[in-house]
């Protein structure tokens, strides 16, 4: 099994419906990448770090920032996504920052956790409405927040911190147990 198949399987196991744009990005990479330097800019990475930490915050397990999911997203977008999808996400980051400026008169990265969560919750409602609209066409681009959320989940649960600290993990090779009892509230198993 290669990395792309593993990432796809993790996304499916997480119970999320991965968008077509994310799956198509996993199908092939341009080894050179499109060289979108805006994705590697320090302010972009800082913004991504705050967004992913708001989506998966640090609790008794490491958060997405500790798992360096922001770097994963920047790399995936740069190396695997089409330029128009990259621009969609970059424009989306600007929309998130604009929403923070409009509501709190501060950049998103300077907001407290509650304010960040409020902004992203509203944007997530917008994403749901966008995906459920009646005039949706198959070729329409994914919502930028859909891409960010999916890459956050994939990046986190395929990271060492996500797979070993947030999920139950037994290093392979291990014994095979076909039927393992599950008690409500236990962690899911890592692949």
How far the first Cα of the chain sits from its last, in Å, is 12
* CA 64-92-87 angle, 5° bins: 105
Contacts (Cβ under 8 Å, ≥6 apart) of 72? 151, 154, 155, 159
CB 86 within 8 A of CB 173: no
Three-state DSSP at 34 gives coil
Instruction: Tell me the pLDDT of the chain (191 aa) as tens digits.
Output: 555 555 555 555 555 555 555 555 554 555 555 566 788 888 999 999 999 999 999 998 899 999 999 999 999 998 888 889 999 999 999 999 999 999 999 999 999 999 999 999 999 999 999 988 888 887 888 899 999 999 999 999 988 888 888 877 766 666 777 777 878 888 776 65
Question: Which tokens in the block code for residue 62?
Answer: 């490491």
Which residue from 96, 66, 74 is spatially nearest to 165, judged by alpha carbons?
66
Which residue from 180, 18, 187, 21 is spatially nearest to 9, judged by alpha carbons?
18
130-165 CB burial, b ≥16 within 10 A, e <16: beeeeeeeeeebbbbbbbbbbbbbbbbbbbebbbeb
Q: What is the pLDDT of residue 31?
A: 53
CB 191 within 8 A of CB 7: no
- Please give the model's pTM, rounded to 2 decimal places: 0.73
């Amino acid at each position: 099994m290669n990395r792309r198949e593993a990432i796809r399987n993790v996304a499916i196991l997480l119970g999320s419906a991965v968008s077509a744009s994310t799956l198509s990005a996993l199908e092939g990479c341009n080894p050179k990448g499109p060289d979108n330097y805006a994705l590697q800019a320090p302010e972009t990475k800082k913004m991504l770090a705050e967004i992913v930490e708001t989506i998966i915050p640090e609790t008794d397990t490491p958060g997405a920032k500790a798992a360096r999911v922001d770097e994963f997203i920047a790399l995936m977008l740069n190396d695997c996504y089409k330029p128009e999808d990259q621009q969609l996400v970059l424009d989306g980051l600007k929309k998130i920052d604009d929403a923070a400026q409009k509501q709190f008169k501060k950049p998103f990265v300077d907001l407290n956790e509650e304010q960040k969560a409020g902004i992203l919750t509203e944007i997530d409602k917008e994403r749901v409405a966008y995906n459920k609209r009646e005039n949706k066409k198959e070729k329409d681009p994914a919502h930028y927040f859909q891409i960010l959320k999916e890459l956050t989940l994939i990046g986190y649960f395929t990271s060492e911190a996500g797979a070993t600290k947030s999920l139950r993990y037994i290093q392979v090779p291990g014994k095979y147990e076909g039927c393992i009892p599950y008690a409500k509230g236990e962690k899911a198993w890592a692949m």
